[in-house]
Structure formats: structure tokens, C-alpha cells
Amino acid sequence: MQAHTLSAQASLATPSRKRFFIMVLLFITVVINYLDRSNLSIAAPALTSELGIDPIHVGLIFSAFGWTYAAMQIPGGWLVDRVPPRILYSVALLLWSVATVMLGFAASFIALFVLRMAVGALEAPAYPINSRVVTTWFPERERATAIGFYTSGQFVGLAFLTPVLAWLQHTFGWHMVFVVTGAVGIVWAVIWYAVYREPRDFKGANAAEIDLIREGGGLVDIRPRQNSAGPTWVSC
């Protein structure tokens, strides 16, 4: 009788709203993601003038990101199927942010080219991770809203933070554009690792919210693939 009462109370409980906090985390991550891929456009005029890089090589530097970003999409998705978002996003963020900081100390075309390739390769898992997180945390009827919200980060960040990057370059030089944006990413990688959890493990996400997500088609029980013999996602 008591168990039945507790079950009924749980079913009537108001779902918590921790999934919207996760949506904000994704938004901030996307802002950082796009700043780290677009900061070159702010620094390029001063950078190329100082290092004496001709327009052809400038074009190659700009293209370097896209080459590795495209090439690593499928391998990045493969990793997302096997490594939890908490770990994979933290590691990817940390590494691409370190590469971004190193761009601030690059002194040649080769260094710039290689580091931009590294940033592209390391950012490749980002959007597959975003999709994985949304699938885990949101019922189907809320997923488009969640995706639209975090995707807006790429434009909101560029719209409001590009003037800040331009000010950094004007005041402190092009080097600091990369150093500051990379440093922000390093800090955020630590925050993501400290804060992000799956729905069942997230402090404050109550049973009613988890039920709402699951009953709405959210895959709250998926776990990373454990071995080559099993399915990509298995239920607990």
C-alpha cells in the first residue's frame, strides 16, 4: 500500500527542468566552438602582414580547418558512439582549445596551417555530441527547440563577441585573439567535465523529468558501446 502511494506520488510530481540547463551548456559550447573556428578571420589581416604571408597561403590556412573538419566527421561520430559525452566533449574541447592557444604563438605558414588542421579535426565530434546529448536529454516534442537554441549560439556568439575579438586585436595584438579564445575553451572543458551528467546521474533531475524524457522518446538509458561485438547503443 505504501509502495503504491509512493509510486502514485512520483507520477504526480512536477518534472524538474534540468534538461533546459543542459540546453544552456550546449549553447555556450557552440559559442566557443564557433569563436575558435572564426577567430582567424579577425586576426588574419594583422597576422599576414606581420608574418609576410601571401594571399595564396592565406587561402590555404583558411581551408585547412575545413579539410580536417570534413574528413573527421565519420571518425568523430564513431567516437561519439563509444565515448560518453562528458569525457569526449571535455577532451575534444581541451585539445582544440590548446591548439587555438598555440596559434597565438605561431610564427610561420607551416605552424598556422598545421594548427588550423588540428583545430578542424578536434572540433569534428562537436555536433555529433550535441545530437547525442539532445537525444538523451529531450523528448521528441522538445528536440527541435533544443537544437534551434544551441544552434543559435554560432550566430549569437559571432554577432556579439566579434567586436570583442576585434578590440583584443587592436589593443593587444593578433596573438591575444587566439590566446584568449583558446583559454576560454580550456576553462569550459573543465566546467563541462565537472557539470555534465546523463539524466539519471544528474543531481536535481527528478524521476518525473526522467519519465517525461523517456516516455517522450528520449533515450535516457543508452550507454556507450562497450565492445566490438555488441550493438552501438545498449539499454541498461
pLDDT for position 6: 41
Q: Of the ranges 3-17, 27-41, 107-121, 156-170, which one carries the lowest mean pLDDT score? A: 3-17
The answer on pLDDT for 214 being more than 90 is yes
pLDDT for position 228: 43
- Write down the pTM of the prediction: 0.87
User: pLDDT band for position 11 (50/70/90)?
Assistant: low
Q: How far apart are CA 187 and CA 66, in angstroms?
A: 25
Convert 115-149 into a string of H (helix), E (strand) and C (coil): HHHHHHHHHCCHHHHHHHHHHHHCCHHHHHHHHHH
HSE, side-chain direction, 13 A CA sphere, residue 58: 16
pLDDT for position 157: 84
The answer on pLDDT for 226 being more than 80 is no
- Radius of gyration of the chain measured on its C-alpha atoms: 21
pLDDT for position 225: 61
- Name residues whose C-beta falls within 8 Å of residue 158's C-beta, 6 or more positions apart in sequence: 34, 35, 38
What is the C-alpha end-to-end distance of the chain, expressed in Å? 28
Dihedral over Cα of 62, 37, 117, 146: its sign: negative
Q: Fill in the amino acid letter for 49.
A: S
The answer on pLDDT for 235 being more than 80 is no
Q: How far apart are CA 179 and CA 36, in angstroms?
A: 10
Helix (H, G, I), strand (E, B) or coil at 217: coil
User: pLDDT band for position 15 (50/70/90)?
Assistant: very high
For domain 18-235, give its CATH number from 3.40.50.620, 3.40.190.10, 1.20.1250.20, 2.60.40.10. Answer: 1.20.1250.20
